[in-house]
Amino acid sequence: MTTTEKVKTIGERYLTNGKTTGWEIDSITGAIIVYAIDAIFYEGEYYSITTGERISLSKDNYIKDLRNNMQDGHKHDAIQGTGTGVIVHRFKENQLEFLLQLRSDVNQYGLLGGGLELGDTYERCAIKELVQEAALLTNEQSLHLENVYAGPKHITKYASGDLVYHTIIVYSICWEDCIELSTKLDAETKELKWVSKEELINLLKNQPERFFPNNYPILWDVVTKIFN
């Protein structure tokens, strides 16, 4: 039986109950029935509750879709953007090191990570961004939730004029818990750089302009609180 056939069979058990919102878990397969979008979340993907076909909740990516749907004259208005940041760390020659991403859009260093897509979980988002931006593959069990950041230190106005109020869910992961892939890095990554804790402190103190402002206070927490 194909996945489509399996999912369609699951859907047949729930099509006639008349619900339009909420969710429930299928006792046989563990799939999540999501009535608000007429979908079944099964083995990490969304499928139509009626046809069993895999569906995508976003045409391109959530933020771009949102901007495209805004009225003319309001394309750059403030929006709430939720995403993840990942602190990749390792010990090398008895020194604690962190992996920084040089972003191609602003030519500044920051954490690996990115925006949450519709229907995603924060863990899946973090794992996806690690693959795309650093060619590192890991699993949810290896991610450690560190903190959630939002507020006046996390508002960005991009060169395009887009204004975003960020909420960032930050995880840490040991580099040894990742598998290095040979895949091509996303265009958002201009360079990856390992820096020691001492070097990062020095850069944050003396060259703050080299860091993406939204990530700057998070990186200060990395060296003064999270890995103090």
pLDDT digits (tens, 9 = 90+) for 100-111: 999 999 999 999
Kindly state the average pLDDT of the residues 31-57: 93
Q: 92 and 177 share a domain?
A: yes
Q: 81 and 32 share a domain?
A: no
Which residues, listed in sequence order, are joined to residue 189 by a DSSP beta bridge?
103
Other beta carbons less than 10 A from residue 31's beta carbon: 21
Binning pLDDT at 50, 70 and 90, where does residue 223 land?
Answer: very high
Q: 214 and 130 share a domain?
A: yes
The count of structural domains within the chain is 2
- Host H or E run for residue 91: strand 79-92
* pLDDT at residue 112, rounded to an integer: 98
Q: 7 and 75 share a domain?
A: no
Q: Are 58 and 117 in contact (CB under 8 A)?
A: yes
Assigned domain for 149 exists: yes
Secondary structure of residue 101 in the 3-state scheme? strand
Other beta carbons less than 10 A from residue 77's beta carbon: 12
**Residue range(s) defining the domain that contains residue 90:** 62-226
Binning pLDDT at 50, 70 and 90, where does residue 7 land?
Answer: very high
Q: 208 and 101 share a domain?
A: yes
* pLDDT at residue 63, rounded to an integer: 86
Assigned domain for 53 exists: no
Rg of the chain (C-alpha set): 20
Assigned domain for 56 exists: no
Kindly state the average pLDDT of the residues 163-179: 97
- Residue 6, C-beta contacts closer than 8 angstroms, at least 6 positions apart: 29, 42, 52
Q: Is the pLDDT of residue 58 over 80?
A: no
What stretches of the chain show up as alpha helix (H) in DSSP? Answer: 3-12, 62-68, 122-134, 197-206, 216-221
Kindly state the average pLDDT of the residues 15-26: 89
Q: 8 and 67 share a domain?
A: no
* pLDDT at residue 225, rounded to an integer: 97
Average pLDDT score, the chain: 94
Q: Is the pLDDT of residue 227 over 80?
A: yes
In angstroms, the CA 49 to CA 35 distance is 9
Q: 149 and 44 share a domain?
A: no
Assigned domain for 54 exists: no
Other beta carbons less than 10 A from residue 119's beta carbon: 17
Q: 30 and 120 share a domain?
A: no
Write out the two tokens for 115. 């925006």
What pTM did the predictor assign?
0.88
Q: Is the pLDDT of residue 214 over 90?
A: yes
Q: 126 and 203 share a domain?
A: yes
* pLDDT at residue 198, rounded to an integer: 97
Q: Is the pLDDT of residue 3 over 80?
A: yes
Q: Is the pLDDT of residue 16 over 90?
A: no
* pLDDT at residue 62, rounded to an integer: 85
In angstroms, the CA 130 to CA 109 distance is 15
Q: Tens of pLDDT along 67-88?
A: 888 888 898 999 999 999 999 9
Q: Is the pLDDT of residue 197 over 80?
A: yes
